[in-house]
Homo-oligomer: A and B are copies of this chain.
């Protein structure tokens, strides 16, 4: 353990169109080369979907250059006018450049040139940006990161139009803009450039690409080896340290997407210029694995919103448009074409054009979302993310267990957190980040204070909170030092499961969670089993929340008390101050609690019990939120007071249909009406009773050996199985 699934053939095909590093200035050095060009101009017409996107881009760029774009003196932070204008200009230089290659229309080369000349006049006069909010300030932008991103775009645009410029113009632009900018990003900003961090990846890609384009070996060397030129930093260090062997990026999917872009774009440039480096084969093809990982780390085209994440980010982002096109160029995998189709647009590269042609030729095949375990950490030893899927379509059931490392500054304090999806929707959800990206009225579009006071706190997640404090006391530096341990992972039906444990988030508290999808028991789809065990030598309060999306339908018992006329916060700190308590339900030890809600057109029921007296608290987000920054999400929390140990057992069922248009409702109650639980050091046994009075047993071994044999005798019935788990009917027959 952990188990690595090598489902996909990660054979890196040699690109058919690479050309050698040469001195022909007219030959673009980045993502398109001269040989491509001839092919491109004749091929474009043959791909209707690419032509559509090309025309959209033309229209956008034509409008953009209808009047000379403003090149303002830098003034504003992210979201402000000058910030956004410079961002747009950088992309416009890039897109105009690419359009000049794809269409042969000289107007685009001229548009890009004029803008570059304006920057060549502006840039040498810039001092540090007037907005002092970043430890790593830029000149055009308030943070150096944006400046690096800008250069990645602009240098490629320049590369595409250079052959249309006079030598004097080239000199003006290179000396006035690109060299000072590349110097600033590298030797001028060593703290950023030499970090093992995604900001460094952008700077390295920017400087390295500039090196290839300007035929400046020094920049290429800086990009590969860091400012000390000793290999202690630079591109290989970044690849080797930021991605796990499975291609997982430790900050989580949202930042993986963002971090991926400079890696794949720069790697593609390297491959075009120095194919002998076989950069895409480096470290067993980890960059390709990282692209695939982005797809696996999504549900219904949106990324799992783990850690700081904007929830509307998904596979249709520009980063993944590059990534998928490059991955398709490397593998020819037809299931990537299905992803590209859902991206609803292309980037203007030769790789994208080839992908568009393949789509238009009808070569797309469905992408199969299979269960996967993504190990975290450079060596894969820092925990893992377990993704359980029943069926393999993009809107089928999926459950995710987060047992990764913390994820640095953007990490959330959510060890053993889980998410659940079904029917295309979030069902048990993560708040993501508290941020209105780029909306200036909301803290300038940056992270909101509630990102710290709510979104990062443990109670904002579907995992255990001890004594109303967050994991690691919400100290990221401490959290970064420890990793959970994944004990079991199984991808085969009828029981797909992952089990992990951790003992670091709290002193003297050991937690273990099993998450499983179990086939053949519920009337519809897979049953989700969640078994969360906690034990300590001292007494604690344990809170296990479920943040559910949708409308509260019913519980099996009336609440003991309801806060109908006054709402007060559930607690005072660590996120509890943001929850309004709405109702409280007292439960005896072993008493089952059933809650049904409705999401979209489907019902979801959790049936749960613990082996201690407990409470179920329903709460709604929004307390202590004077600026209306939080969404009014709902949660129910299972709470146990003063216990040394307990196990929360629950099964979640997806059932029925509500159809308001056709006026019918079916299966509005779950199949499972009761559960019993037994556990010891080696096994856990769940006995389920259905509304038809049928009995099922689901037995789990806690042994890490996937092949071990187990026997459990229950009221005279022998349950015998091998491996991590098995399900049985009431007579003890495996099902």
- A499→B660 CA distance, assembly (Å): 34
- A311→B87 CA distance, assembly (Å): 42
| Interface flag for A525 (CB, 8 Å) | no
Q: Render A617-633 as a binary contact track against B, CB cut-off 8 A, 1 for contact.
A: 01010111110100110
Chain B residues with Cβ below 8 Å from A668 are: 439-441
Q: Is the CB of B312 within 8 A of A438?
A: no
CB distance from A63 to the nearest CB of B (A): 13
Q: Is the CB of A626 within 8 A of B439?
A: no
Pick from A350-358, A564-572, A606-614 the stretch touching chain B.
A564-572
Q: Render A564-593 as a binary contact track against B, CB cut-off 8 A, 1 for contact.
A: 111111000000000010110000000000
| Interface flag for A442 (CB, 8 Å) | yes
Q: Is the CB of B552 within 8 A of A628?
A: yes
| Interface flag for A712 (CB, 8 Å) | no
Q: Is the CB of B660 within 8 A of A437?
A: yes
CB contact between A661 and one of B312, B552, B580, B669 (< 8 Å): that residue:
B312
- A432→B355 CA distance, assembly (Å): 47
Chain B residues with Cβ below 8 Å from A439 are: 553, 598, 658, 665, 668
| Interface flag for A390 (CB, 8 Å) | no
- A626→B668 CA distance, assembly (Å): 21
Chain B residues with Cβ below 8 Å from A569 are: 565
Q: Is the CB of A662 within 8 A of B317?
A: yes
| Interface flag for A84 (CB, 8 Å) | yes
| Interface flag for A551 (CB, 8 Å) | yes
Chain B residues with Cβ below 8 Å from A663 are: 437-438
Q: Is the CB of B564 within 8 A of A665?
A: no
Chain B residues with Cβ below 8 Å from A618 are: 628
| Interface flag for A318 (CB, 8 Å) | yes
Q: Is the CB of B566 within 8 A of A568?
A: yes
Q: Is the CB of A445 within 8 A of B313?
A: no
Nearest-CB residue, chain B, relative to A87: B664
Chain B residues with Cβ below 8 Å from A664 are: 84, 87, 438
Nearest-CB residue, chain B, relative to A566: B568
- A625→B317 CA distance, assembly (Å): 41
Q: Is the CB of B661 within 8 A of A317?
A: yes
> Which of A440, A567, A662 has the largest number of chain B CB atoms within 10 A?
A567
- A441→B665 CA distance, assembly (Å): 11
Chain B residues with Cβ below 8 Å from A566 are: 566-568
Chain B residues with Cβ below 8 Å from A620 are: 622, 632
Q: Is the CB of B661 within 8 A of A623?
A: no
| Interface flag for A380 (CB, 8 Å) | no
CB distance from A453 to the nearest CB of B (A): 12
- A383→B495 CA distance, assembly (Å): 63
Number of copies: 2
| Interface flag for A316 (CB, 8 Å) | yes
| Interface flag for A554 (CB, 8 Å) | yes
- A596→B663 CA distance, assembly (Å): 36
CB contact between A596 and one of B313, B441, B568, B625 (< 8 Å): that residue:
B441
CB distance from A338 to the nearest CB of B (A): 18
Q: Is the CB of A568 within 8 A of B565?
A: yes
Nearest-CB residue, chain B, relative to A569: B565
CB contact between A565 and one of B317, B623, B665 (< 8 Å): that residue:
B623
Nearest-CB residue, chain B, relative to A445: B665
| Interface flag for A562 (CB, 8 Å) | yes
- A79→B631 CA distance, assembly (Å): 33
A312-B660, A660-B437 known; A442-B554 Cβ under 8 A: yes
Nearest-CB residue, chain B, relative to A632: B632
Q: Is the CB of B553 within 8 A of A665?
A: no
| Interface flag for A53 (CB, 8 Å) | no
- A551→B316 CA distance, assembly (Å): 24
CB distance from A570 to the nearest CB of B (A): 12
CB distance from A695 to the nearest CB of B (A): 24
Q: Is the CB of B553 within 8 A of A624?
A: no
List residues of A (527-564) whose CB comes within 8 Å of B's CBs: 551-554, 559, 562, 564
Chain B residues with Cβ below 8 Å from A628 are: 551-552, 582-583, 618
- A375→B727 CA distance, assembly (Å): 64
| Interface flag for A408 (CB, 8 Å) | no
> Which A residues have a C-beta under 8 Å from some C-beta of B?
79, 84, 87, 310-314, 316-318, 436-442, 445, 551-554, 559, 562, 564-569, 580, 582-583, 596, 598, 618, 620, 622-626, 628, 631-632, 658, 660-665, 668-669
CB-based closest 5 A-B pairs? A312-B660, A552-B628, A441-B554, A567-B567, A438-B665
